[in-house]
Amino acid sequence: MIPDYNLVFVYGTLRPGGRNHDLLATATHCGTCRSSPRYILYDTGPYPAAVEHGTTRLKGDVFLIDDATLAKLDLLENVPVDYQRTRIETEHGLTWLYLWQRVIKGDWPCISDGDWNRYCRDLNRIG
């Protein structure tokens, strides 16, 4: 059986250098890009949470992944409880994006430039 393939846009701990990037070990990196300016990116503490209805362009990486890897990512992201997968258009084509589904806490900092990796580097912490 030939596996199906998907594109996924990752903006947090799954990006290269992030603590969960090893889940993409068999994926093909298509490149780095920015989303359209329609999100808000929050720092929840251990990971970022993106929600719609903002003006931030998320910075992320697009990977070509198989269905088995997509299922692993859904488990990591606790779909549909914590995150929901949605499709967005990127310069690499139509990709999956994980959006936060739970309540946003008032003390979560916003990451105004949409770049989790830069934000973590500035705070001297691992993404």
Q: Options 3.30.2080.10, 3.30.230.10, 3.10.490.10, 2.70.98.60; which CATH number does 5-123 get?
A: 3.10.490.10
Within the chain, strands assigned E span: 5-10, 28-43, 48-66, 83-90, 93-100
Q: Does position 12 have pLDDT exceeding 80, yes or no?
A: yes
121 DSSP 8-state letter: H
The set of catalytic residues is 77
What are the residue boundaries of the structural domains of the chain, listed by start?
A: 5-123
**What pLDDT shows up at residue 6?**
93
**What pLDDT shows up at residue 1?**
42
Q: Does position 4 have pLDDT exceeding 90, yes or no?
A: no
Q: Does position 20 have pLDDT exceeding 90, yes or no?
A: yes
